[in-house]
Amino acid sequence: MSYPSIERGCVDGETEKRREKILVAVATYNEIDNVPRLTDRLLSLLPDADVLIVDDNSPDGTGAWAKKAGERDSRVKALVRQNERGLGSAVICALKYAIEHDYDAVVNMDADFSHPAEDAPRLIARLNQKNAEADVVIGSRYVLGGATPDWPLKRRLMSRCVNAFARITLGLKTRDNSGAFRCYRVSVLRKLNFDDFVSTGYSFFEETLYRLRLVGAVFSEIPIVFIDRRMGVSKINRKEAIKAVTIMLRLGLKRIFSKTFR
């Protein structure tokens, strides 16, 4: 994958160009069946990028594998969290890592191959597309060309309702607000105060778009085909879904009342 060049500074009156510094972040818990294959695939597709594994001290050895992989290949980074849990906080950890280590863009994706690794280069390319630059590119199931072929009708309806609810309560225009497959421009992430976030679970993804909208981020969506995991166990459950809706409602009410009483 060839990344667009960006301006770095001036040398003898000429603008020096450098290759963009890209990070692919994957939050994990008990994904030892998937992470080694995914990491190899990502490094093959994006040989100039780094892959960051943020693991919540998985008992199946995912974090230990990531650490050893990093010793073999400097492009693999591992953060094993000992006393922290939660998808949202893990992704925040990854985004902060991208900021602190001066990456230009960070791709966030799931570990279970539900997000096709082959689409990661497409998200990166779209970020800097000429005449239509974006700050956030979403791998979307709900724009033309996107699909969820393995899902039963009940799950499709639930997901559609959650995304519609996010658009109504948080004022979002994007179609896929709950998906984790995204590419962020790090410069726009620097505008966020992560201490303000209230989500720790799956509502983190809607809240992130909401807070990015507040700082003026430009969004774009490209279609992906979401494939259900083939190995491992899904972490989402009804309790998480109810919690996500509750947090979105809380943020939405705050948005409405802040406008009313300004």
Span 141-159, mean pLDDT? 93
List pLDDT tens digits, range 182-216.
999 999 999 999 999 988 777 899 999 999 999 99
Asked if the model's pLDDT at residue 132 lies above 90, the reply is no
Asked if the model's pLDDT at residue 174 lies above 50, the reply is yes
In sequence order, what DSSP letters do the residues of 69-122 get, joined into one string?
HHHH-TTEEEEE-SS---HHHHHHHHHHHHHHTT-SEEEEE-SSSSS-GGGHHH
| Statement: 17-260 belongs to CATH 3.90.550.10 | yes
Q: Where are the domains of the chain?
A: 17-260
Span 121-133, mean pLDDT? 91
pLDDT interval class at 253 (50, 70, 90): confident
In the prediction, which pLDDT does 236 show? 56
The pTM score is: 0.85
Quote the tokens at residue 196.
Answer: 């303000």
Average of per-residue pLDDT values in the chain: 87
Judge whether 69 and 78 are in contact, CB under 8 Å.
yes
In the prediction, which pLDDT does 14 show? 43
In the prediction, which pLDDT does 202 show? 77
Closest CA to 22 of 186, 146, 154: 186
